[in-house]
Amino acid sequence: MFSLNDDRAARGLLGLSFSFHRMASSSSSAPAASYDVPWVEKYRPSKVADIVGNEEAVSRLQVIARDGNMPHLILSGPPGIGKTTSILALAHELLGPNYKEAVLELNASDDRGIDVVRNKIKMFAQMKVTLPLGRHKIVILDEADSMTSGAQQALRRTMEIYSNSTRFALACNTSSKIIEPIQSRCALVRFSRLSDQEILSRLMVVVQAEKVPYVPEGLEAIIFTADGDMRQALNNLQATFSGFRFVNQENVFKVTNAEAHLAY
């Protein structure tokens, strides 16, 4: 059971410096909500500069976006904090109109066993694409820590052979699950959990854009249950809004408890 009297809630939320606007609960004039588009997608930042938090990591990526010559990268950190978002935004900024032909995206739902590394990735790396000076083709390997070590060994070789033309960006929760030879060829960019204030700043953007009626305690409950995970915060906000049309503590806990029951 969640309680906002918990230590963490007290520490995290009492220190927040923001002003809530209590929105009129007569929401009849609110536009029809877009239930179909997940807010995590609708509000996914498309530019590196718009990614909230992790300033050091984000500014390193901004330098790469500006100067080009992206090194092989590993972005590591807990779920829902912007790793995939950062890689996609960086690739778009680097490659612009060439994105489609010059980026290969492979995520956990794609097969990324040894054959895929040998065939699909290698074929992409060998393919000739004309790009501006200082730009490279990019292979995005999401959730790379779930790749078998055989596949990683094959990947290591491909990375070496084609690094003139192709750079790799790996996202993972724990970089220690990436084999050492790959780690040593990559720049490691660490992401950590977002602060309550950072989550709040993004929630405010979304509640305003979507005209979500709320009370401050409702957002506090979302922030508390999300525990630094922006994806979870946005999903819980959307679930509460579409279930109850009003974000207060009670409704948030109904939604998050229901999800907890479904998960077990």
Q: 244 and 254 in contact (C-beta within 8 Å)?
A: yes
Estimate to the nearest angstrom the gap between the alpha carbon of 11 and the chain centroid: 25
Nearest CA to 71 out of 176, 192, 189 is that of 189
Q: What angle do CA 82, 88, 92 make, to 5 degrees?
A: 140
Question: Looking at 6-14, 26-34, 37-45, 112-120, which segment touches ligand ATP (CB under 6 A)?
Answer: 37-45
**Under the criterion CB under 6 A, does residue 171 sit at the interface with ligand ATP?**
yes
**Under the criterion CB under 6 A, does residue 81 sit at the interface with ligand ATP?**
yes
Site string for ligand ATP, 98-137 (x = CB under 6 A): ----------------------------------------
Estimate to the nearest angstrom the gap between the alpha carbon of 40 and the chain centroid: 9
Residues 216-245 that bind ligand ATP (CB under 6 A): 230-231, 234
Q: Which does 91 bind (CB under 5 to 8 A by kind): Mg ion, ligand ATP, none?
A: none
Closest residue (Cβ) to Mg ion? Answer: 84
Site string for ligand ATP, 40-79 (x = CB under 6 A): xx-xxx-----xxx-------------------------x
Q: Residues 13, 51, 77, 84: which binds Mg ion (CB under 5 A)?
A: 84
Q: 17 and 201 in contact (C-beta within 8 Å)?
A: no
211-240 burial, b at 16+ Cβ within 10 Å, e below that, comes to ebbbbbbbbbbbbbbbbbbbbbbbbbbbbb
- Nearer to Mg ion among residue 84 and residue 225 (C-beta): 84
**Under the criterion CB under 5 A, does residue 85 sit at the interface with Mg ion?**
no
